[in-house]
Structure 1
Amino acid sequence: MTVGAVERALKMLETLSGEAEGVDLGALAERLDLPASATHRLLSTLAERGFVAQDAASGAYALTLKLALLAFRNLDQRHLPDAGQIVLDGLARATGEYCRLAVVEGENLVWIARSQGATAGLRYEPPMGSEIVLHATATGKAWLASLPEDEALRIVCARGFQGRTGPNAVDGVDALRQHLDETRRRGFALANEEGELGAVAMATTFRASPDGNAAIAGTLSVAGPTARMQPERHAAIAEALGKAAAEMAGIWPLRRRQSAAQQAPAPNGRALLQTGAQS
């Protein structure tokens, strides 16, 4: 398979990921700007590998759960959600709001865990599969502010000031530079109806270990409805975020030790069984 074919197949998977009911062949070919014959060949290959299925009644093509299975398998092997869920749950209880953990992947951030702290009233709970728009989210700005300014601006400018955003999202380099300066001074990032209308979020980064020189491993965020996330609460939430970030840095190295222990050979040469692996 050529590089071009791989790119087309990946673009097809990305397109289908946002279509729960599937897409028919003609519409998919038009959206991908491909001939129907080439689109059908790609769909056939992906179907043979179990990534795509065609609905017998409508004829529409949709993703199977195989991609999700592979993603969960990878997360399990890396022990990322396990390492942070206890801290995340504690943050949700302390703030009474929706909390998420994201990890750095190259020049991106990816959500990997969440915890809902709101027990009554409005519940803000956006989908975990949404892309993190770096310039328009507290999570993105917290991470960008940890980078050298030139690098942060390069990453954002390479993508453009695009994506699904709210009415207050920054739309230029000067505004973004100001937001990142404010984030560094405050010690946490704030997004007031920048990611979406009616929501406010706060976020901070955490390191890969308690060492102050360790690399930034990811972010922790707290988000909720504008009506609840008022300025008078920001100091308390920022304090809870700082405490959670320190706790996360303390336990983050443990995920590697846990993985190594589970993969260590038993005395008879066999791999040790992972507790609960079949549950």
Structure 2
Amino acid sequence: MTLSSVATAARILREFGKHSTQLGVSQLARRVGVGKSTAHRVLWTLVEEGLVEKVEETGLFRLTSTMGSLGASAETSQRLHEAATHPLDQLRTKTRGTMHVAILDGIDVLYVERREGLGTLQVFRAVGSRNSAYMTASGKVLLAFLPAEQQRSLIEEIRLTPKTARTITTRAAFLAELHRVRSQGYGENRGEWQPGMCSIAAPIRDPLGQVVASVSVAEYVEDVEPGLRHLAGPIIETAKRISAGLGWHE
């Protein structure tokens, strides 16, 4: 059993991707096969929900940037899945830790791919879950390689709340950390999110060389000071292999 209003809303949203970036009420009613009043009502519901907006200059409607981001995230996730499958399987032979592929979503990291290492404890993040970027290796990598203006804007939004005694809590220290990550080509979390839990991550690039995601390994260790630095080489190599799968070449 389906709700007709939901089905109509879904059909209307699909129409924006089929033909034009801007459409009117009459056009949508005709293409979807509903009355003009129904199309008008559904459209304004989508406007209230932040999925569609009215363009004042034309009087027509278009998808908001939120919907564009959702589409881009879905496409990116699929491409990453295809490119990461074999490299992650290879990395799995070199570590007992949990492997993740993540993208930046505001000031959070969003995990879009995951592999369990041999003997992994079931405590790490599942696909579709989020974590604060500032206290994860993946987040540091994704923030470190942003354009300067975008990086500055996002860092201003972050509240550097301590989770453990090792969490970075000042902007000066965090900016210095991001500079170090960018210089060395990988990021680390050494007990900053949970005591004893470490992670290491490297950047994944698109065909233009822009960092679009990160690949990481997370594991509980006895000594957080060296953390997982012994995996720096393998994690960087894995990131390069995934990037190559996306079309990037050094």
How does the TM-score come out when normalised to structure 2?
Answer: 0.62
2:239 equivalent among 245, 259, 279: 245
Secondary structure of the 2:130 match is coil
CA distance in structure 2 between the partners assigned to 1:91 and 1:77 by the alignment: 19
Q: Which residue of structure 2 lines up, in the alignment, with residue 138 of structure 1?
A: 137
- Displacement of 1:188 in angstroms is 1.1
- Displacement of 1:233 in angstroms is 5.2
- Displacement of 1:114 in angstroms is 0.7
Stretches of structure 2 lacking an aligned partner (at least 5 in a row): 1-43, 51-69
CA distance in structure 2 between the partners assigned to 1:75 and 1:145 by the alignment: 23
Q: Which residue of structure 1 lines up, in the alignment, with residue 78 of structure 2?
A: 78
> What amino acid is the match of 2:245?
I
Alignment of 1:199-214 (within 5 A): 199-209=197-207, 213-214=208-209
- Displacement of 1:136 in angstroms is 0.9
Change beyond 3 A, Cα 1:200–1:103: same
- Displacement of 1:199 in angstroms is 0.4
Pair 1:171 & 2:169 matched: yes
Secondary structure of the 2:151 match is helix
Alignment of 1:13-92 (within 5 A): 74=74, 78-92=78-92
- Displacement of 1:168 in angstroms is 1.9
Secondary structure of the 1:160 match is coil
CA distance in structure 2 between the partners assigned to 1:224 and 1:156 by the alignment: 26
1:153–1:173 Cα contact (<8 Å) kept = no
- Displacement of 1:112 in angstroms is 0.8
Change beyond 3 A, Cα 1:84–1:218: same
CA distance in structure 1 between the partners assigned to 2:160 and 2:218 by the alignment: 22
- Displacement of 1:105 in angstroms is 5.0
CA distance in structure 2 between the partners assigned to 1:247 and 1:229 by the alignment: 28
Secondary structure of the 1:231 match is coil
Provide the aligned length of Structure 1 versus Structure 2: 183
CA distance in structure 2 between the partners assigned to 1:242 and 1:112 by the alignment: 19
Instruction: Show structure 1 runs of 4+ deviating over 6 A.
Output: none
What does the per-residue CA deviation read over 1:20-59, in whole Å, with 9 as the maximum and x for residues that have no partner?
A: xxxxxxxxxxxxxxxxxxxxxxxxxxxxxxxxxxxxxxxx
Q: Which residue of structure 1 lines up, in the alignment, with residue 8 of structure 2?
A: none
Secondary structure of the 2:100 match is strand
Stretches of structure 1 lacking an aligned partner (at least 5 in a row): 8-69, 255-279
CA distance in structure 2 between the partners assigned to 1:200 and 1:194 by the alignment: 8
2:100–2:111 Cα contact (<8 Å) kept = yes
> What amino acid is the match of 2:186?
F
- Displacement of 1:145 in angstroms is 1.2
Change beyond 3 A, Cα 1:171–1:106: closer
> What amino acid is the match of 1:96?
R
1:88–1:244 Cα contact (<8 Å) kept = yes
CA distance in structure 1 between the partners assigned to 2:47 and 2:196 by the alignment: 41
CA distance in structure 2 between the partners assigned to 1:196 and 1:142 by the alignment: 19
Q: Which residue of structure 2 lines up, in the alignment, with residue 6 of structure 1?
A: 49
Q: Which residue of structure 2 lines up, in the alignment, with residue 234 of structure 1?
A: 229
1:75–1:81 Cα contact (<8 Å) kept = no
- Displacement of 1:98 in angstroms is 0.9
- Displacement of 1:107 in angstroms is 6.5
- Displacement of 1:229 in angstroms is 6.3
Q: Which residue of structure 2 lines up, in the alignment, with residue 97 of structure 1?
A: 97
Q: Identity over aligned residues, as a percent? A: 20
CA distance in structure 1 between the partners assigned to 2:94 and 2:80 by the alignment: 22
CA distance in structure 1 between the partners assigned to 2:153 and 2:116 by the alignment: 34
- Displacement of 1:89 in angstroms is 2.0
2:143–2:178 Cα contact (<8 Å) kept = yes
> What amino acid is the match of 1:251?
G
- Displacement of 1:156 in angstroms is 2.3
> What amino acid is the match of 1:174?
A
Q: Which residue of structure 2 lines up, in the alignment, with residue 221 of structure 1?
A: 216
Alignment of 1:92-171 (within 5 A): 92-105=92-105, 109-119=109-119, 123=121, 125-128=123-126, 129-162=128-161, 165-171=163-169
Change beyond 3 A, Cα 1:153–1:161: farther
1:88–1:101 Cα contact (<8 Å) kept = no
- Displacement of 1:77 in angstroms is 8.8
